Structure 1
Amino acid sequence: MKNKYIIAFVAFMLSVTSCTKLDEDLHGQIGNQGVTEENVAALLNASYTAMRNPFQGPWGWWALQEFTSDEAIVPTRAGDWDDNGAWRALFLHRWAADHARMSDTFRDLNSVSFVSTNVLNFNPTPLQAAQARFLRAFAQFAILDGWGQVPYREPGEDVTLPSKVRGADEQIAYLISELNEILPTLPDGPVHNANKDAARVLLMKCYLNKGAFLNRATPTFDPADMQQVVTLADQIINSGKYALTANYYDNFAPRNNTLSRENIFTAQNIGGSDAGGLKDIWVPGLHYNQNPSGYNGFATLSDFYGKFEANDTRLGGVYPGVTNVSGIRVGFLIGQQFDQNGVALKDRRGNPLIFTPEVSIIERDPNHLEVAGIRIVKYPIDYANSATNLPENDWVYYRYADVLMMKAEALMRIGQNGAALPIVNSIRTTRGATPFTALTLDNLLDERGREFFWEGVRRQDLIRFGKFLTPWQEKPTDDPKYLVFAIPDNQLGNTNFTQNPGY
Structure 2
Amino acid sequence: MKKYKYILYKKFTIGVAALLMLVGCGLDEEVYSVYTPETFYSSEESVLSSLSGVYRNFALITGMGIEYRVLELPADQVLLHGKIQGWWANTDSEQLMEHKWDASHAYFTTTWNTFFATVGQTNGLIASLEASGMEDIEGPKAELKALRAYAYFYLMDLFGSVPIFLEPRVDPNNLPQQNSRAEVFDFVVSELQEAAEMLPSKTTVGAEYYGRLTKEAVYALLATTYLNGEVYTGTAYNAEAIDYANRVIESGAYTLLPEYFENFAPDNERNSEFIFGGVYTPNVPGGIGQPFVQKVLPGISGGLFGLPYTPQNGFGTRPSVEALYSEEDARKSMFLSHGELRDPRNGEVVMVERIVPDNNSQLYDPERSNSGPVPYVIIPATGIRNQPMNAGIKWIKWQIDPNTNGGNASNDVAFIRYADVLLTKAEALARQGDFEAARLIINEIRGRSGATPLDSINLDDILDERGRELAFEMTRRRDLIRFGKFTDSWEFKEESEPFRTIFPIPRTAIDANPNLEQNPGY
TM over 0.5: yes
Residue in 2 aligned with 1:348?
356
Which amino acid in structure 1 is aligned with residue 412 of structure 2?
D
The Cα shift of 1:167 comes to 1.6
Name which of 69, 75, 94 aligns with 2:75.
69
Residue in 1 aligned with 2:243?
231
Deviations 1:378-432 (A, max 9, x none): 2112121334x54322221110001110001000111111111101101011111
CA contact (8 A) 2:338 2:393 kept: yes
Moved more, 486-495 or 160-169: 160-169
**Structure 1: distance between partners of 2:315 and 2:415:** 21
**Structure 1: distance between partners of 2:113 and 2:431:** 35
Which amino acid in structure 2 is aligned with residue 298 of structure 1?
F
Deviations 1:199-231 (A, max 9, x none): 10111111111111235xxxx52xxx2111111
**Structure 2: distance between partners of 1:119 and 1:471:** 45
Residue in 2 aligned with 1:403?
421
Residue in 1 aligned with 2:179?
166
- Within the alignment, does 1:423 sit opposite 2:441 as a pair? yes
The Cα shift of 1:335 comes to 2.8
- Within the alignment, does 1:10 sit opposite 2:13 as a pair? yes
The Cα shift of 1:92 comes to 0.5
Q: Secondary structure at the match of 1:397?
A: strand
**Structure 1: distance between partners of 2:336 and 2:243:** 35
Name which of 300, 310, 313 aligns with 2:330.
313
**Structure 1: distance between partners of 2:215 and 2:336:** 34
The 1:25–1:57 alpha-carbon spacing in structure 2 relative to 1, beyond 3 Å, is farther
Name which of 114, 136, 140 aligns with 1:128.
140
Moved more, 123-132 or 403-412: 123-132
The 1:454–1:24 alpha-carbon spacing in structure 2 relative to 1, beyond 3 Å, is farther
**Structure 2: distance between partners of 1:300 and 1:117:** 39
Q: Secondary structure at the match of 2:192?
A: helix
Residue in 2 aligned with 1:109?
115
Which amino acid in structure 2 is aligned with residue 363 of structure 1?
N
- Within the alignment, does 1:478 sit opposite 2:489 as a pair? no
**Structure 1: distance between partners of 2:159 and 2:336:** 31
**Structure 1: distance between partners of 2:23 and 2:239:** 44
Name which of 198, 218, 222 aligns with 1:203.
222
Which amino acid in structure 1 is aligned with residue 181 of structure 2?
A
The 1:140–1:338 alpha-carbon spacing in structure 2 relative to 1, beyond 3 Å, is same
The 1:47–1:164 alpha-carbon spacing in structure 2 relative to 1, beyond 3 Å, is farther
Residue in 1 aligned with 2:296?
285
Moved more, 336-345 or 70-79: 336-345
CA contact (8 A) 1:278 1:395 kept: no
Name which of 391, 394, 403 aligns with 2:409.
391
The Cα shift of 1:84 comes to 4.6
The 1:498–1:348 alpha-carbon spacing in structure 2 relative to 1, beyond 3 Å, is same
Q: How does 1:2-401 map to 2 (within 5 A)?
A: 7=10, 9-10=12-13, 21-22=24-25, 30=33, 32-33=35-36, 35-38=39-42, 39-53=46-60, 55-81=61-87, 83-123=89-129, 125-158=137-170, 160=172, 162-189=175-202, 190-215=209-234, 221=236, 225-258=237-270, 260-273=271-284, 278-289=289-300, 290=304, 291=307, 292-316=309-333, 330-338=334-342, 342=348, 344-346=350-352, 347-348=355-356, 352-364=375-387, 369-387=388-406, 389-401=407-419
The 1:185–1:173 alpha-carbon spacing in structure 2 relative to 1, beyond 3 Å, is same
The 1:418–1:92 alpha-carbon spacing in structure 2 relative to 1, beyond 3 Å, is same
The 1:167–1:421 alpha-carbon spacing in structure 2 relative to 1, beyond 3 Å, is same
The Cα shift of 1:437 comes to 1.1
CA contact (8 A) 2:335 2:393 kept: no
**Structure 1: distance between partners of 2:14 and 2:267:** 27
**Structure 2: distance between partners of 1:252 and 1:301:** 21
Deviations 1:225-262 (A, max 9, x none): 2111111111211222222112211112112114x321
**Structure 1: distance between partners of 2:163 and 2:92:** 25
CA contact (8 A) 2:156 2:181 kept: yes
Residue in 1 aligned with 2:509?
491
The 1:79–1:165 alpha-carbon spacing in structure 2 relative to 1, beyond 3 Å, is farther
Residue in 1 aligned with 2:364?
none
Which amino acid in structure 2 is aligned with residue 169 of structure 1?
A
**Structure 2: distance between partners of 1:473 and 1:491:** 33
Tell me which structure has the larger Cα radius of gyration. 2
Deviations 1:123-173 (A, max 9, x none): 251011011011101111011100002233223444545333322010101
**Structure 1: distance between partners of 2:311 and 2:389:** 11
Moved more, 468-477 or 351-360: 351-360
Name which of 477, 487, 496 aligns with 1:459.
477
Which amino acid in structure 1 is aligned with residue 498 of structure 2?
P
Residue in 2 aligned with 1:321?
none
CA contact (8 A) 1:229 1:406 kept: yes
CA contact (8 A) 1:10 1:28 kept: no
Deviations 1:44-83 (A, max 9, x none): 2222222233x22111332112111111111222242455
CA contact (8 A) 2:41 2:129 kept: yes
The Cα shift of 1:179 comes to 1.0
The 1:73–1:482 alpha-carbon spacing in structure 2 relative to 1, beyond 3 Å, is same
**Which TM-score applies when normalising by structure 2?**
0.83
Q: Secondary structure at the match of 1:98?
A: coil
Q: Secondary structure at the match of 1:383?
A: coil
List alignment gaps of at least 5 residues for structure 1.
317-329
Moved more, 450-459 or 44-53: 44-53
Q: CA RMSD in A?
A: 3.0
Q: Secondary structure at the match of 2:253?
A: coil
CA contact (8 A) 1:30 1:115 kept: no
The 1:29–1:140 alpha-carbon spacing in structure 2 relative to 1, beyond 3 Å, is farther
The Cα shift of 1:345 comes to 2.9
Which amino acid in structure 2 is aligned with residue 261 of structure 1?
S
The Cα shift of 1:348 comes to 3.1
CA contact (8 A) 2:264 2:413 kept: yes
The Cα shift of 1:18 comes to 12
Residue in 1 aligned with 2:367?
none
**Structure 2: distance between partners of 1:204 and 1:181:** 15
Q: Secondary structure at the match of 1:265?
A: strand
Which amino acid in structure 2 is aligned with residue 282 of structure 1?
V
**Which TM-score applies when normalising by structure 1?**
0.86
Which amino acid in structure 1 is aligned with residue 356 of structure 2?
R
% identity of equivalent residues:
29
How many matched pairs? 473
